[in-house]
Structure 1
């Protein structure tokens, strides 16, 4: 039996932390660990990506879709540099990822091949924990600390392991011998609940509010029932951040949709009309769409106190877990809904939904991209996952794709890096191979990372119990990456070269469908969602369809209210409040 090496010890530690798979790109400096993973027989499994960037995106996608800690591997030099994009995605969207980087410096310092100072390279993105392994006895505790820190801080961490250490034979480790520290895997996260006095203050503010708005972010996952119950008690309207879109059932009549530039008119109007704002687990950067400072009294719930008040002035901060904090508030808030305000919100939602349907039905040349997402909305499987890339597809996803309850959806929400959706989709599919996954991309993202990672899909799909992984490519050949006619013709040069995306899928043994007529969009979705293998649905869409961002909060309140004396009085009160705020700003 071969000697047990430090690389084997790393695999044992990954197994102890219940890591199902590690994503990476093989290279010499990490080869001993990859070989040890091969010897492990799939526990954990090594998933080779086509690029280190996509390996890091896969690890982050795994963390986003499962709530577990993602793991990625790379070597020193350029390989380590390529990890950064995916790790910054994890950092900015607060997801736990552990990067294990191999290093082989055998020449003189400063002159080795592929040498880059890893401590400086990862010093920002992995600032919560970055350590080098020096002796075999340190490796278990280094990995345990990396995992614990990633879980506790919801951020990426990094452990650097020299090649010579990975290949070293593991001695009989004694718990108290020099350089050896014993450690036990686990991630004991504390229960976090605000103080009673703060909860009382928040409840008092909510009770006295006349027009309550709730903004839901990704930190509210698992608290949908509590959010709906509180909204009903107050007669509140509810909007979500882009990352918070999957939290609530979007069919709720008082759910105004996503807030921000990519969002809905109804959400902008909700923010423009409220006098009380409850922020739940959100760090939404689109502050232009928040109420004007001074317009609304605000409560913010976040498990990370460092985020309180970073986006909007807060009257009552509540540091705590979203679901538990909301349950504590429900015990303090009586059932006294403002039906008049709720009626105003629901009328606004109805008008927006009619407007969205009209936008999707507007003719375009050859296909309106909004129609593609509108047709998918009635066909989304009741289980599974949706991965969304960056570009104009985010606008159409935010406004036109109604997610069924329980369907998970993720995107690179804060970093905004193209090329994430297909790696995310691979991670989601490997985590739950018995559920369908849909990836939504533009042609730019498909050319950036998607074409290569279809090879990964082709390599793994026959092992999946449900073979459906559908990749939508909105092919508008627009160099700006955004579409919507934002840029003058010719300013960005020729349009992006066309690629036979569906044809490339067929070359790989997958299913491919290309559509360039609007009446075929619905049947094409039916075809790919019923296919016996992964599919690429290529839709040729019009790059000139306008994005039409909603007007920011308080820009125009005229369309918010239905007719009637009561609604007119509320509108007059709100316009008076707006005039006071604007006058104070002038002073």
Structure 2
């Protein structure tokens, strides 16, 4: 049998190093699936329950391996379903290739069944490279360029394959005018900043008395260099959400997350510093950075387009975070420790406060306690994923990450529904490591419950069977409820915010997994212990209090007034709202300044 276009696509992806594809089948992509079958397992196919989840898995695969993530779907609705996960990868600068089917070439333009203008559909999310093949000899350079562009630019690309083309005999491009003869293979270059720029950056950092560092996802592989530079500068370091694993939380000068989901020490660090070093971060919220003109600033980023975007930098350094920091280190002066002593004192007090908040009474369970009790039980090689919503607050603030752990979530897109597919991708990428996914009940109902079936299908092939999906069941779309109260001054809107009570642990049992239900504070820690001792994946469901506020680390007077307005308008859970707010955030109200109104 001659090689088909589908066969060539599979063999070319293999030549590029692809060993796993996430997706869902359909007749529009049958030619490639047949080729995968004929390839005898050279490339593993992971069948998700939904194409959107497959794209999330591909995005997470890129995050947890550093390699290209690949997803595949059929024409029409299969292709359209991929969009959200593709945007997740693009927003977080992850290399992802989507391969999708299309109707037969002769039918295109005829309002045929499942005909969608896919090139137009993907034009934004895959704007760097999206093309539809029209002849066999074209497929070689489309695959080569799609992979190379995705890897080199850390972005999303897409190749569209009409279904009749996939079954045709493959042809190499003829050596004639008007043909393209591409090759595979790519190694990222070493990008080094100019020495003069490094000296200018060092001058700024050496002149500062109070240096603050903000580390993002671009610094995840620069932990040692970050620590060395921080120690040399006597600096404190905050972490953007995607950079949570860049520095261990056990370091006394690491202030934790920054922003809406951040900590008070990070807020103080940014407000009190006189010099800022931003490393590999596109953190979007300028109100949590120093006021413009307040500090001298240096930024390191591999992507020139991200430089001086969040803050007007004095010096911009284009380069890999670890190599650039290593080049910068010999130029830096050793600073005294007074500034760091202040930071460490703030961090110590903050962890003490978080413990008090986590152990505070709630009805029935304080969600902060769920995350707090998880931290000491995490194995050293654990991988943690989180969904968007209020659970991300507790992930950001209360979960302590140690050296060697990995952690991620949908950052730039902040999409609901990513935690379980992220956890699945983590297990496929690192089958010998335990994985914990933190999920709100809204995301579980939206699309994550179905992916538990994917877990049930595959878990026995993983070397380490520990995959724990922790569900915060509060029957409320909690993050938005609090945003309505604090940002808009509106009471909770029951019609939009209240969701059904679902026995998630029972669903887990129904499909052959372990289910654990906890509805008392004293059983939170034993619940985690039981889950980690299980020899199969677990859905660990906690019945949590929706009135524990997931609020910013610092409340302005305007936000306090909005919260008061929500009460005056008659919040449906006024008693619980007052109880939870008084217990958790009264101390944050008092420092609000008039200039923040």
Q: State yes or no: 1:85 paired with 2:88.
A: no
Corresponding residue number in structure 1 for 2:120 = 120
TM-score if structure 1 supplies the norm length? 0.92
CA distance in 1, matches of 2:496, 2:109: 45
Which residue, out of 406, 409, 412, partners 1:408? 406
Cα gap change, 1:490/1:164 in structure 2, threshold over 3 Å: closer, same or farther? closer
What is the CA-CA distance between 1:334 and the residue it aligns to? 2.3
- Segment of structure 1 superposing worse, 101-110 or 17-26: 101-110
Q: Is 1:218–1:244's contact at 8 Å kept on the other side of the alignment?
A: yes
SS of aligned partner of 2:40: coil
Corresponding residue number in structure 2 for 1:514 = 517
Cα gap change, 1:272/1:27 in structure 2, threshold over 3 Å: closer, same or farther? same
Higher RCO (C-alpha under 8 Å, 6+ residues apart): 1
Over 4 Å off, 4+ runs? 177-180, 480-487, 552-555
CA distance in 2, matches of 1:380, 1:508: 26
What is the CA-CA distance between 1:182 and the residue it aligns to? 3.5
Q: State yes or no: 1:271 paired with 2:270.
A: yes
CA distance in 2, matches of 1:413, 1:84: 16
TM-score if structure 2 supplies the norm length? 0.90
CA distance in 1, matches of 2:553, 2:161: 50
Q: Is 1:444–1:481's contact at 8 Å kept on the other side of the alignment?
A: no
Cα gap change, 1:187/1:496 in structure 2, threshold over 3 Å: closer, same or farther? same
What is the CA-CA distance between 1:185 and the residue it aligns to? 2.0
Q: State yes or no: 1:345 paired with 2:348.
A: no
What is the CA-CA distance between 1:479 and the residue it aligns to? 3.4
CA distance in 1, matches of 2:244, 2:205: 23
SS of aligned partner of 1:378: helix
Name the count of aligned residue pairs. 555
Which residue, out of 530, 534, 537, partners 1:531? 534
Counterparts of 1:139-150 in structure 2, within 5 Å, are 139-150=139-150
What is the CA-CA distance between 1:384 and the residue it aligns to? 3.0
What is the CA-CA distance between 1:110 and the residue it aligns to? 4.1
Corresponding residue number in structure 1 for 2:138 = 138
Deviations 1:202-258 (A, max 9, x none): 000111101000000100121111111111111111111011111111110100000
Q: Is 1:90–1:156's contact at 8 Å kept on the other side of the alignment?
A: yes
Corresponding residue number in structure 1 for 2:475 = 477
Corresponding residue number in structure 2 for 1:375 = 373
Corresponding residue number in structure 2 for 1:192 = 191
CA distance in 2, matches of 1:274, 1:549: 20
Counterparts of 1:156-555 in structure 2, within 5 Å, are 156-171=156-171, 173=172, 176=175, 181-335=180-334, 337-482=335-480, 484=482, 487=485, 488-492=491-495, 495-551=498-554
Deviations 1:187-214 (A, max 9, x none): 2211111111110100001111010000
Deviations 1:102-155 (A, max 9, x none): 101443624111222112100010000111212222212211111110011110
Q: Which runs of 5+ in 2 are unaligned?
A: 486-490, 559-592
CA distance in 2, matches of 1:397, 1:174: 52
What is the CA-CA distance between 1:290 and the residue it aligns to? 0.3
SS of aligned partner of 2:277: strand
SS of aligned partner of 2:377: coil
SS of aligned partner of 2:81: helix
Corresponding residue number in structure 1 for 2:34 = 35
SS of aligned partner of 1:314: coil
Cα gap change, 1:408/1:494 in structure 2, threshold over 3 Å: closer, same or farther? closer
Cα gap change, 1:399/1:494 in structure 2, threshold over 3 Å: closer, same or farther? closer
Cα gap change, 1:46/1:180 in structure 2, threshold over 3 Å: closer, same or farther? farther
CA distance in 1, matches of 2:498, 2:556: 35
CA distance in 2, matches of 1:87, 1:475: 28
Deviations 1:56-109 (A, max 9, x none): 111101111111000011122222111110011111100000011110144362
Corresponding residue number in structure 2 for 1:98 = 97
Cα gap change, 1:60/1:421 in structure 2, threshold over 3 Å: closer, same or farther? same
What is the CA-CA distance between 1:484 and the residue it aligns to? 4.9
Deviations 1:439-473 (A, max 9, x none): 11000111111110011110001111111111000
CA distance in 2, matches of 1:285, 1:236: 22
CA distance in 1, matches of 2:393, 2:336: 32
Q: Is 1:231–1:238's contact at 8 Å kept on the other side of the alignment?
A: yes
SS of aligned partner of 2:526: helix
Q: Is 1:485–1:543's contact at 8 Å kept on the other side of the alignment?
A: no
SS of aligned partner of 2:298: strand
Cα gap change, 1:43/1:179 in structure 2, threshold over 3 Å: closer, same or farther? farther
CA distance in 2, matches of 1:483, 1:494: 6
Deviations 1:333-354 (A, max 9, x none): 122x231111111111111111
Q: Which runs of 5+ in 1 are unaligned?
A: 556-578
CA distance in 2, matches of 1:251, 1:482: 31
